[in-house]
Structure 1
Amino acid sequence: MMELWNRISYMVQLNAACLMFMLPAQKSQRFYLRFLLGALATIGAAFWINGSLGEDGIAKLSYGYWLGYIMVCVAFVWICLDISFKEAIYCAICACAMQHVAYDMVIIYQVAGGGSSLVQIAIYILIYAIFYQTFARKLPKRGSFPVRKSSLAPMVTLVVLVWMLSTLEISGKPGFEAGIGNQIIFRVLDAVCCLYVLWVQIYEKEKLELQRELDGINNMWKQQKRQYEVTEEMIDNINRKCHDLKHQIRALRQMTDEEQKQEYFNEIENDIMLYDTALRTGNKALDVVLMDKGLFCKNHDIQWTCMADGEKLDFMKLEDIYAIFGNALDNAIAAVGKLQDREKRVISTKMITQNNIMVIQVRNYYNAELDFEGGLPLTTQNESQGHGFGMKSIRYTAEKYNGTISVRAEDDIFTLQILIPIPEK
C-alpha cells in the first residue's frame, strides 16, 4: 500500500493543486467529468511510469522527469477549462508553485524529526486552503486569467529553476549534500520564491486591471472630446440656420396670405424653434452637452427635465464637463430606453451650488438587477469588454477635482449624486 502511494502521491498533490486554481476559472462543459477522467489518467500514468522506471531510471532522466509533471499539469488544465493555452500554462504554473510550498513545509517537518502522516496531510490541506483564499480565488477575472506574454516567461522560468534546485537538493549528488540546518534554510527560501511568484501575480493582476481601466477611460475621453467638438460645430450651424430661416419665413409671410401656406410656415417655424431653444446655463460646454442629450431625449420619447447653473463650472476643463454630464446622461438614457412603460421614461437632472460645493444629481427609473463592486454598479451590457467605463470615468473625473460620487438604487429609481468643491478664485 505504501509503495502504491509513493508512486502516485506527487501526481495526486499536483491534481489537487490544479483543482484549487481551476475552480474559480471558466470551466469547459462537463468539467467534473473531465477532471475525474483526467485525474485517473494522470495518476494511472504516474503509477505505471514510476513503477517501470524505478529510482535508477528516474535519476537518469533527472530534470526531464520532473519537467514532465509540469507539462502534464498544463495539458490537464487545458482540457478541463475553457481558456487559452497561454492561460493553461499560467494556471498550471501557479498550481505547481502552491504545491511546492506545501511540499517544502512537509520536508521541513520531516527534517525536524516529524513522522506523522496525518500531520503531513494536514499541512497540505492547510496550505492549499490558505492559498486558495489568498491567490487561487482572486486571480481569475470573470473566469479568465490575466496573462501577458511579457510576464509569463519570467514566471515560468523562476518556478522551473526552483524545481531544478529542489531536485538537486534531494538527489544526493556530490556537492549538493546539506545538513539539517541548511536543508531547512533551503526549503524556507524555496517556499519563499514560490510564494513570491504567486504574490507578484496578484500585484500584476491589479496593475493590469488599473491599466485597462485607465486605457478605457482615456479612450472614452478622446471619443467624448471629438464628439463634443462635432456637436458644438453642429449646434452652432443649426443655430445660424435657424436664425436665417426665421427671417426668411417672416419675409415669405409678407408675400402671401394663403391659409395653407401660413399653416405650413407655422409648422416649419415650430420645428426650427425646437433647435433654437438651447439651454443657457452660463457655461458653453455644458450648454452643448445638455442640448445634445436633450435633443436625443426628445427624439426618442424620453421626458427630460433639467435645472442647471453652469456659471461656476469655469474651473473645469471642457472634456471633464463632457465626461461627467455626458456619461451620467448616457447611462440614464440607456436605462430608461429599456423601459416599456412610457410614463417611466423620465430623467431628472439637477445642478446647484451649496456652501461652495457643486451638487450634481441625475435620477432615472430602471428595471434591471444591479450588482455593485467598489460602490459602483457593474455594467449590464452583454459584453463587458469596452463597456462599464462610464461610471469609473465619472468617479475618476470627480476625484481629479477632490470630489466624490455616490450611487443609490431603491424603489426602481437610480440616483447618481456628485459632489465637487468649487475652488476659491
Structure 2
Amino acid sequence: MANTLPDVVDILGVGYGPSNLGLAIALEERNARVPAGDRLTSMFVERQPGFTWHPGMLLPGATMQISFLKDLATQRNTGSEYTFLEYLSQRGRLTHFINLQTFFPSRLEFHDYLTWAADKVAADVLYGSSATGVAWTGEHFEVTVDTSEGESRTLRSRDVVLAGGLTPKLPAGVVTGERVFHNHRVLDHLEGLPAIRHQRFVVVGAGQSAAEVLAHLHERYPGAEVHAVFGKYGYSPADDSPYANRVFDPEAVDDFYTSSPQLREQLIAYHRSTNYSAVDLPLIEELYEREYGERVSGDRRLFVHGASEVSTPRETGAGVEVSVHHRPTGRKNTLLCDAVIFATGFQPLDLRAILGSLAQDCRFAADGTPEVHRDYRLRTAENVTGGIYLQGGTEHSHGLTSSLLSNIAVRSGELVDSLASRAMLDAVLTR
C-alpha cells in the first residue's frame, strides 16, 4: 500500500471484488486523462488476504455464463489495457482462445483474468481488513477498519463506495458444520470432510450452481450416490436468448430506473429465468442423460428429486441425516450422508449493519430497500453531504445487473463520472 495518500481520500471503497476492481480501473484511466490537480485519490479495504473471486466455486470445467466481452473495461473503453483480450495477449493465449470459437471462457480462466487485472492496476488496497462501521463527521466519512492482526484504525474519505459482496443464504434452521455447508466454498469443504463413509451426498437447490455441484460430485466420487433436491418438478433452462439478454444491456438500467415500482416487479418476474433458479440447457441435458443411462444399466447413483424438500439436516457421529419429502405424495426417504450442500443463493450486504447509526440519516422504502439515485448514490438527509454509493443491493432500483458481472465496465464509468463531478463541485464550494 502506498504511503503518499492524503489524510482524507476522495473515495474509500469497502470490498475489493470485481465491482470495486472495475471502479479502480476506471479511476486509473480517468486520472490518466486529467491534470494532476484534478485527479481523484482512492483507497480500498478488503477482508481477504489478497484478491480472489469465489475460489471455492472454481469447479473443473465450469464456464462463465456471460460473454468475455462483458469484462472489466471493454463496454466502457475498447482501447483499455484491462480488457480480457489484452489479458489473453499478455498471457500468450490470444490465438489459442480464438481457436476455441467461444464467447464463454472457463470460470478458472476468468478468475485468472480478474487476478491479472488486480495485480496490474495501481490501486491502494488494504487487504486483510474488514470495515465494521461508517460514520459522518459533518465534513467527511470515518470508516472503522479491523485488521486481521487484531488492530483497529480509522480511515477518512469524502465519499464511500460499498461493495461488500454477497452473503450465503441458508434456509431457516440450518446450521453449518463440517458436513453441512453452502456451495460458495464447496471445494474447500469437500477437502476438509472428516471421512467419506456413506458414499452419499445431497445437493439442495435448482440453479446453475446446484447443477454444477451435482455434476462435480457425480464425477469426483465415482462410487457415491448423489441426490438433488428442489421444489420444482425439474431443472428449468436459463433463458440466454438474444432478446432476453437485453435486460442486461446498459440501456436497460435507465429503462428500469425510470419505471414504476409495479413495472419493475413485472420486469424482474418476466426475466428471472435469465439468472435465478435456472440452469444452462446443455448441463440439464447432460445430467438427464447420465441419470437415464444409470436407469438402463440398473446401477443408480444419480437421483433428482423434483417437487421435494429436505428436512433440517442433523449431524451425527456417523455423518449427517436428512429426510427427503416428496410433496405431491407425502413420501419420505431418510438418507445418511457424507455431506449436505445448500446451493440456495445469496443475499446482499446488510446495509443497516455497516451504516449503524448513520442509517437513520439514510432513506429506506417501506419494504426495507434503500432509496438510491440513478448514479447508485444512497439518498440521505441534507446534513450528509458526502456520497454513499452502492455496488450491489440495488436490484430493486437498477435491475438484474445490480450484483452481476454484466454491467461492471459501464457502471464503473458512471460511478467515476458522478464521483468526479461531486469532487469538482466540492472544490468550487470550498474555495
Q: TM-score, normalised by structure 2?
A: 0.19
Normalized per residue, the structure richer in strand is 2
Larger Rg: 1
> Larger % of helix: which?
1
* TM-score (norm. length: structure 1): 0.19
